Amino acid sequence: MEQKICRRCLIREMGEEEYHKMIGQYIEFLDRADKAPDELTEKRLEICRECDRLNAGTCLSCGCYVEIRTAIKRAKCPNRKW
């Protein structure tokens, strides 16, 4: 039986696998017109990986999940790095 994710739970209460699944599903279901090309997303992620404001997948400047922000075509880095 498939385990359901509690929609009212905090992320810290989810297992790591559920967290990755949630982020992946969000990105997968972005409207095609809103989604950045994979190459651009990866370039942005590389910049974020080097940033001292990255903490456990979130940006300390704005609080976003960097894997989601980098996948959105019109998104911008709050620190103007990309």
Q: How far apart are the first and last CA of the chain?
A: 43
Residues 6 or more apart whose CB falls under 8 angstroms from that of 43 comprise: 82
**pLDDT of amino acid 9:** 64
3-state class of 62 per DSSP? coil
* Residues in the chain with pLDDT values less than 70: 1-12
pTM beyond cutoff 0.95: no
Rounded Cα–Cα distance for residues 21 and 15 (Å): 10
